[in-house]
Structure 1
Amino acid sequence: MTNLLFEEGFIFAYAGGHLFCLDADSGHVCWENKLVGLGYGACIIAIENPNASLIANQLQQAQQASVSAAVVASSAAVAGSSGSGE
């Protein structure tokens, strides 16, 4: 399993118990950490992103809009079917 992150011209990669930083243009290995003693399990590569809360808010708004649209569509279908039988 390999995790990758591209950030500001660098590629950060985790594979086989090693963490690497490569220059995205040249492929040159800038640094490597063998993570001695930490094994070969999963690795999460995280960054500080000043836009993270903005992105989370946009996703939440999109989800709320989707739910609202489904409720409106469902209500319209129920209202339409209850008035047509009489």
Structure 2
Amino acid sequence: MQAGQHTLSCGACGAPLNRLKALPVAAPVSKPAVTHQPVMSSQRKYAQPQRPKPVKRRKKRKSLLRQFAEEAFDLVEDIFD
């Protein structure tokens, strides 16, 4: 080694890194092929298909014209009583 040249060393024991044993590189893991089908658990394979929940219908509001007509009818009815 030449004078004045710096080398990397192990933080734990101080040994030069070029003298340490190389670690094996893990082989790349291949991904499974895409099947575009959902994964089903053993419980869901035999389950009955679920029906969608019924839609709860909202009450229709009275139109403004109908409200005025009811008020006018009540007023006329009060006059005749």
TM class by shorter chain equals under 0.3
Q: Which fold has the larger relative contact order, with Cα–Cα distance below 8 Å and residues 6 or more apart in sequence?
A: 1
Q: TM-score, normalised by structure 1?
A: 0.21
The structure with the largest strand share of the pair is 1
The structure with the largest helix share of the pair is 1
